[in-house]
Structure 1
Amino acid sequence: MSFVNIAAYKFITLDNLEDLRPQYQDQCNELGLKGTVLLTPEGINMFLSGTRENIDRFLAWVRSDARLADLEWKESLSSEQSHKRMLVKIKKEIITMRMPLIKPELGRAPSVDPKTLKRWLDQGHDDEGVPVVMMETRNAFEVDVGTFQNTLDYRIEKFTEFPAVAEQHREELADKTVVTFCTGGIRCEKAAIHMKNIGYERVYQLDGGILKYFEEVGGEHYQGDCFVFDYRTALNPKLEPTETTQCFACRAVVTPRQQLAPEYVPGVSCPHCAAGRAEGSAAAQTAAEQI
């Protein structure tokens, strides 16, 4: 038996969150779905797993709400449900940026579809002959699992750092076409709008993110896998789960090679834990020597 895993979001004003939350919880429980639904004043974000029949029934129910009638989603398959429990949460933002004036519902930044992006990357420039560069909007630990070749990775630890980073590098990218990207497109919706607002002339968001790129194009121009926030940890360009995992103790991403290290004990520790303890011990020793 296989399960369908969906990722979906839409920026749209939702003003009855307290009423919606139990409705979504009841629907998901009735259909045996597992995952997370985020309900916010600026829209909805969902990562869910279930049988084909029940996912289809749920999506039909969601789209019966006129505000979400055109909701789109991305799919992948797995032999197990990709989440272990069902949560419906109310939050302030779909993705935290802390810039309330950015409202994707009022108008998106320009986007580029996966097939067009591949063509641009094949030729090294956009249709106007301007060099194309890819810009990460994801956190550093996600990037370490895989990213586009020659991408701009500014090692951010959380998305709230992105606006300052974009401003810092604006001048050096003035003569480039910049394509922002993330896992499924959510962060890019806000990132590209912000970049347009602060003066980037040629900036696009990758429509549907990495997962849509994998679905429509495959893995060309991409190195590694794509981190996902469920038990699968990472998907390859065929949208299949990989052997990459997360450490139960420190939540660091652990590659198959790192799993061969003696420090890796499933559910207990990993090489990242050991490195952190070693750094802590060294710092403590240095401090002791200075007393």
Structure 2
Amino acid sequence: MYQVLLYYCYSPIADPDAFRDEHHRLCLALDLRGRIIVAAEGLNGTVSGTRESCAAYMAAVKADPRFAALEFKVDEVEGHTFQKLHVRVKPEIVHSSLRHMRPHEKTGQHLSPAEFRALKDHDDVVVVDVRSDYEYNLGRFKNAVTLDIENFRDFPDRVERLKEFKDKKILTYCTGGVKCEKASAFLLEQGFENVYQLHGGIIKYGIEAGGEDFDGQCYVFDNRVAVDVNRVNPTVISHCHHCQEPSARLINCANPHCNAHLPLCEACGETLQGACSQTCAVNPDKRVYDGTGSYPKLSNHYNPAQGLASYGSAKD
């Protein structure tokens, strides 16, 4: 049996390049695969591996005093959810336009899944989804405010829409919590006084609170594409992009020049051969549709050691 680990930690790293190489070697030794971002502000990743490898990885990461408080979200899977390992140095651990934020110094108040569930329906509370549109269109909390953003870097431009709720408690949430750290910090900077965030995000809420009142599915950034989190009162809120029938089946458009993330039912998937429209269906570069609507990068000639300094390059 395998596991997939989702995690992040805002904690300063003095030499991200050196840390990156060391961390890459750790992952190689454990045969982990996935995407890990290293930045001066911290660490963010999703990796998959055997239970034994994941246990060893979690112990090694938490043994570093900088990441002692890091919490892993752990899900059981049948095999690797990634085909390759990428450990990269970037300016931020989540791409935003909020590089001046220091979540390890000041951010919104963390709420456990149980605390979030108990508070979210109060009259003086507004629940805010800080994710992108293709994510919340697939699944979101009941009555959540969405901000019509294509990318998290658009978040600061949408905060004006929340000004009418300044006298209420703002409860932010995202997939695993990493975006909320900066989003809630920015709201505090903008004068919002009662700002909270769902600690561990939707994934931890599903594990610890049964996902109650989360409608639809949760988009995830691995080969699974989307996962069920609600075991209490599940429902489907998304509709097939083509026929508009209810469908929680998320695909990538088979036209690589489009590659849109959207729901497409099985019948329309077959009719359009994985494309989101007739135009994309006849594109000469359209990928072969195998019924899944997922097109992970092939692992042909994959060298997991590629990118290590000793192999001639400090970055993949």
TM over 0.5: yes
Q: Does residue 13 of structure 2 align to residue 5 of structure 1?
A: no
1:149-205 CA distance string (max 9 Å, x none): 111112101111111211x12431123221111000000000011101111122211
Task: Compare the two structures and name the one with the higher helix fraction.
Answer: 1
Distance 1:216 1:119, change over 3 A: same
Distance across 2 between alignment mates of 1:80 and 1:255: 25
TM-score, scaled to structure 1:
0.84
Q: What is the letter of the counterpart of residue 135 of structure 1?
A: V
Aligned to 1:270: 275
Residue 104 of structure 1 aligns to a residue whose secondary structure is coil
User: How many residue pairs get matched?
Assistant: 265
Deviation larger for 203-212 or 63-72? 63-72
Q: Does residue 106 of structure 2 align to residue 107 of structure 1?
A: yes
Residue 184 of structure 1 aligns to a residue whose secondary structure is coil
Q: Does residue 252 of structure 2 align to residue 253 of structure 1?
A: no
Distance across 2 between alignment mates of 1:109 and 1:176: 14
Distance 1:197 1:57, change over 3 A: same
Aligned-residue sequence identity (percent) comes to: 29
Gaps of 5+ in 2: 232-247, 284-316
Gaps of 5+ in 1: 279-291
Aligned to 2:142: 149
Residue 58 of structure 2 aligns to a residue whose secondary structure is helix
Aligned to 2:43: 44
Aligned to 2:86: 87
Residue 215 of structure 2 aligns to a residue whose secondary structure is strand
Distance across 2 between alignment mates of 1:131 and 1:21: 44
Aligned to 2:128: 135
Aligned to 1:231: 223
Aligned to 1:171: 163
Distance across 1 between alignment mates of 2:148 and 2:281: 19
Once the two structures are TM-superposed, the CA of residue 142 in structure 1 deviates from its matched residue by 1.0
Distance 1:162 1:225, change over 3 A: same
Distance across 2 between alignment mates of 1:192 and 1:156: 16
Distance 1:198 1:258, change over 3 A: farther
Moved over 4 A (4+): 275-278
Distance across 2 between alignment mates of 1:158 and 1:89: 20
Distance across 1 between alignment mates of 2:65 and 2:270: 55
The 8 Å contact of residues 10 and 43 in structure 1, kept in 2 or not, is answered as: yes
Residue 4 of structure 2 aligns to a residue whose secondary structure is strand
1:9-40 CA distance string (max 9 Å, x none): 10011011121122111111121111011100
Q: What is the letter of the counterpart of residue 215 of structure 2?
A: Q
Distance across 1 between alignment mates of 2:83 and 2:267: 23
1:111-155 CA distance string (max 9 Å, x none): 22111121223xx31xxxx52221111111111111111111121
Once the two structures are TM-superposed, the CA of residue 258 in structure 1 deviates from its matched residue by 5.4
Residue 211 of structure 1 aligns to a residue whose secondary structure is helix
Q: What is the letter of the counterpart of residue 173 of structure 1?
A: F
